Amino acid sequence: MTATEQIIAQLRAARAKHPELAEHLDLHADLWAVEMPTSAGAPASKISAEEARARCVAGVPLLRPQEIPLDWTSLSRRFEQVCVIAARRRPDLAGPFGELLALAQAAPDRTKALLRQYLMVGEVETDEGGLTHQAELLAFVFGHTLRPALRACAEQLVPHLALELWQRDICPICGGAPDFAILNEQAGARYLVCSRCDTRWLYPRVKCPFCGASRPSDLSYYPTDDGRYRLYVCQACRRYLKAMDLRQAGAQELLVEAARVITVDLDVAARAEGYV
Ligand SMILES: [Zn+2]
Ligand SMILES: [Zn+2]
């Protein structure tokens, strides 16, 4: 079974256990099902081991946004697929997803510029073209559009990383923000997981990766009843981070790509408390 097939199988298994999450799990299983290998170029060959080490020391991600090889033909096909799947699996949002697709088809250059901008700053910032109210949806579509290409790049570049030199709050490969964390099986060291390319990197346990706060009074976490997951929250910036504790029985069997989707109830709980 390939990694993608395993992720889909885990999402389907979770659906059987949690029918109340069917819509959400089906959406993500469908998005993984059309994950296609992309012609992402060979970024690794352009970075020498010395350059990779120098970038890690300097805190510069191995893949600068302007260096990410993007194949617009496959990206626009992927953009379309993501919109169509999202509209089908989220009938309540079918209208807005359909509008995004129509806008992208009517103004491909504008969409390309926004996608580049999303890569640079990690979010969609626009007040033009009627897209403002859809910025969050557009960021969702962009994230899933870019994922196969970024994962392919990460796979090639990870062996070049000097991870012990990198304990920063952004991804050492693509510069993306973390959206998940893993506590490892041995000492419970915390690794952050990139929201865009799924690369993992070591990060202090008592520090907020969003604002750098490290006073224990600002930071807390809530474990789930089975102990497998934690919700880290920061009072200084009001951000939250989900984590999976691999020291707990059964947690090791789950892939992080599936775990971050399956734990949607933690996102709901965090947002209900005002965390973002
Ligand atoms: Zn990344
Ligand atoms: Zn914070």
In degrees rounded to 5, what are phi and psi of residue 147? -55, -50
Note the ligand closest to the C-alpha atom of 234: 2
Burial bucket for residue 114 (CB in 10 Å: 0-12, 13-18, 19+): buried
Percent helix / strand / coil, the chain, rounded to 5:
55, 10, 35
Note the ligand closest to the C-alpha atom of 193: 1
**Which pLDDT score is estimated for 128?**
60
- Cβ neighbors of 252 (< 8 A, separation 6 or more) are 185, 246
Note the ligand closest to the C-alpha atom of 155: 1
Note the ligand closest to the C-alpha atom of 179: 1
Q: How far apart are CA 52 and CA 172, in angstroms?
A: 10
SS3 119: helix
Residue carrying structure tokens 């998940």: 180
Q: How far is the CA of 234 from the centre of ligand 2 (A)?
A: 5
Note the ligand closest to the C-alpha atom of 207: 2
Ligand 1 ion: Cβ-proximal residues, 5 Å cutoff = 171, 173-174, 176, 194, 196-197, 199
Q: How far is the CA of 167 from the centre of ligand 2 (A)?
A: 16
pLDDT tens digit string along 24-69? 999 999 999 987 655 554 455 578 888 888 999 999 999 887 778 7
Q: How far is the CA of 276 from the centre of ligand 2 (A)?
A: 11
Q: End-to-end CA distance of the chain: give it in Å, rounded.
A: 35
pLDDT tens digit string along 119-178? 887 777 765 655 556 788 998 999 999 999 899 889 888 888 888 889 899 999 999 999
Note the ligand closest to the C-alpha atom of 122: 1
**Which pLDDT score is estimated for 99?**
92
Note the ligand closest to the C-alpha atom of 237: 2
Please give the structure tokens belonging to residue 227: 């102990």
pTM metric for this prediction: 0.91
Q: How far apart are CA 3 and CA 16, in angstroms?
A: 20
Q: How far is the CA of 221 from the centre of ligand 2 (A)?
A: 13
